[in-house]
């Protein structure tokens, strides 16, 4: 976490800036077109938030400094992430193989649908998994009909790939 010291003598003055989703060192920051759009929308929201903090009259000066430090830190982290983004259009991927941007239907004891996306776009509850995740790495390069052992906390689970789609993710 980034730390910005507002007042070194007062622990209450330490400002912690929440980190972005981790991208392993040396890993290319692949994003879908949707992912880049979401990052740019988040940047606009942070611009609005900074303007709101600056113009708010009911915020005490110390609190204003703290809020602006957080907003600027998040803004700078986001600008850095956007500057390294490489957009991969899912439509350019081979239709018969799991790659970045693929939506994959898996069948085993249960059915699951997963879409492989960039780290900032990942949300497991929506079935969007980061391309650096072990589950995504187990799928990449496979075709329809392939059996895949998916890592899980209780041990590997066997799934078959039933369908691969590339949509506007």
Element at 161 (helix H, strand E): strand 157-166
State the residue for tokens 């078959």.
160
Checking if the pLDDT of 24 tops 90, the result is yes
149 secondary structure, DSSP code? E
Residue 5: pLDDT above 80? no
Question: What predicted TM-score, i.e. pTM, was given to this entire model?
Answer: 0.82
Contact 80, 20 (CB under 8 A): no
Token pair 């004891």 in the structure block, residue: 109
Mean pLDDT of 68-93: 93
Predicted confidence (pLDDT) at residue 75 exceeds the cutoff of 50: yes
Does the structure show a pLDDT above 70 at 7?
Answer: no
- Name the class of domain 90-166: alpha beta
Q: How far apart are the first and last CA of the chain?
A: 29
Distance CA 54, CA 48 (A): 10
Spell out the CATH class of 27-87.
Answer: mainly alpha
- pLDDT category of residue 73 using cuts at 50, 70 and 90: very high
- What is the torsion angle, in degrees rounded to the nearest 10, for the CA atoms of residue 73, residue 79, residue 84 and residue 86? 130
Domain residue spans in the chain? Answer: 27-87, 90-166
Percent of the chain with pLDDT over 90: 67
- Residue 29 in tokens: 């920051």
- Residue-wise pLDDT tens digits, 100-114: 999 999 999 899 999
Question: Could you report the per-residue pLDDT of 53-69, keeping only the tens digit for each?
Answer: 988 888 888 888 899 99
Pairing of strands 147-150, 128-130: unpaired
Average pLDDT of the chain? 89
pLDDT digits (tens, 9 = 90+) for 94-149: 999 999 999 999 999 899 999 999 999 999 999 999 999 999 999 999 999 999 99
Cα radius of gyration rounded to whole Å, the chain: 20
Mean pLDDT (whole number) for 41-47:
95
pLDDT of the residue at 6: 46
């Amino acid at each position: 976490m980034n730390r910005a010291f507002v007042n070194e003598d007062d622990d209450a003055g330490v400002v912690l800036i929440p980190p972005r989703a981790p991208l392993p060192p040396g890993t290319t920051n692949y994003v879908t077109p949707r992912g880049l759009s979401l990052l740019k929308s988040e940047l606009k929201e942070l611009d609005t938030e900074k303007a709101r903090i600056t113009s708010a009259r009911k915020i005490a000066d110390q609190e204003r400094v703290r809020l602006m430090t957080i907003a600027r830190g998040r803004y700078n982290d986001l600008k850095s992430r956007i500057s390294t983004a490489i957009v991969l259009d899912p439509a350019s991927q081979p239709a018969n193989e799991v790659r970045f941007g693929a939506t994959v239907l898996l069948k085993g004891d249960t059915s699951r649908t997963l879409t492989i996306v960039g780290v900032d776009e990942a949300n497991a509850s929506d079935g969007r998994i980061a391309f650096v995740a072990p589950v995504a790495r187990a799928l990449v390069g496979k075709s329809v009909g392939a059996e895949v052992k998916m890592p899980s906390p209780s041990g590997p689970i066997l799934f078959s790939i039933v369908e691969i789609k590339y949509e506007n993710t």
